[in-house]
Amino acid sequence: MSNLNNQIALVTGAGRGIGQAIASKLAGAGADIAAVDLKVEFCAETCEKVRALGRRAWAYGADVSKAAAVDETVEKVLADCGRVDILVNNAGITKDTLLMRMSEADWDAVLSINLKGTFLFTKALTRSFVKQRSGRIINIASVIGLVGNAGQCNYAASKAGVIGLTKSVARELASRGITCNAIAPGFIETSMTAVLGDDVRQKLLAQIPLGRLGSPDDVANAALFLASDQAAYITGQVLTVDGGMVM
Ligand code: NAP
């Protein structure tokens, strides 16, 4: 059993989906949770779940793509919680369309939230990780960042960027006892994939050797492992959680 007792985990995009599952999973292993979402009220359900598990929860509203909001949030979290041991950069969006139709705004929004948001939170917490000579950074990428996808140029570029960022941060901070890894989920049942039509869903299922879409809990289990002592010697890696779709 993983033991995260007395550790503090900051999870972005914690209000629902994979972020909520990760917050609950880490809390189940003993961590207290600083939940961040676009609006503070979006964190209410997650905080309730964390408290029901007997752990402390704090809620923050911040747009991860805005440097001032991120810095202010990290300052508040450190004041409220005393420290952060685990950072999970999970907030993300899609704005899918074919390249020829993709607007500059669609490109900028996805890159700003998925990639720049990960950079901003990582940068804002690095000083305190270095000072405490420990820290676990877990970035939620995507298999699309590994293999690309028609209609997702912006998303694929953002997630490939997250993987490059992960490896660079891992190299830069390893000597300070800080690890940085990415999880690349495949197709996971959340509101992000609920919009897919039945035909697309069937085509996807045909490509998944394990024969089902993933659950947020499947991704949360990988996050728990990377946050745990069992993963102390793992850094700069991309852990694919996709039912075998990309191998
Ligand atoms: P989701 O259900 O849409 O949840 C995303 C969360 O991020 C929401 O709570 C959302 O808040 C929050 N968020 C969006 N923009 C934000 C911003 N600017 N600042 C702060 N929070 C923001 O999506 P999900 O499926 O759980 O995805 C979580 C992560 O997994 C994403 O990085 C996604 O790219 C990645 N992923 C998902 C899948 C999949 O199949 N679902 C596959 C691979 C990777 P709101 O409630 O305000 O929208």
| Domain map (residue ranges) of the chain | 8-239
Quick check: 177 and 119 in contact, CB under 8 A? no
217 close to 161: Cβ distance less than 8 angstroms? no
The CA 140 to ligand 1 mean position distance, Å, reads 10
pLDDT digit string, tens, across residues 28-84 = 999 999 999 999 999 999 999 999 999 999 999 999 999 999 999 999 999 999 999
Whether pLDDT at 193 is above 60: yes
Rounded alpha-carbon distances, angstroms, from residue 136 to 9, 31, 65, 76, 155 = 9, 13, 21, 19, 24
Could you give phi then psi for residue 82, rounded to 5 degrees? 90, -35
- Nearest atom (ligand 1) to Cα of 14: 9
Q: State mean pLDDT over 173-188.
A: 98
pTM above 0.95, yes or no: yes
Q: Which of 93, 112, 116, 121 to mutate to test the pocket of ligand 1 (most atoms within 8 A of CB)?
A: 93
The ligand 1 site (C-beta within 6 Å) comprises 12-13, 15-19, 37-38, 42, 63-65, 90-93, 113, 140, 142, 185, 187-188, 190-193
What's the pLDDT at 196? 86
Q: What is the pLDDT of residue 8?
A: 98
Is 155 an active-site residue? Answer: yes
HEC assignment per residue over 18-48: HHHHHHHHHHHCCCEEEEEECCHHHHHHHHH
Distance from residue 217's CA to the centre of ligand 1 (Å)? 14
What is the pLDDT at residue 1? 57
pLDDT-derived band at 192 (thresholds 50, 70, 90) equals confident
Q: 8-239 maps to which CATH number?
A: 3.40.50.720
Residue 216, pLDDT above cutoff 80? yes
Distance 53 CA to ligand 1 centre (A): 23
> What is the tens place of the pLDDT at every residue in 98-118?
999 999 999 999 999 999 999
| Among protein residues, the one whose CA lies closest to atom 19 of ligand 1 | 63
3-class SS of residue 8: strand
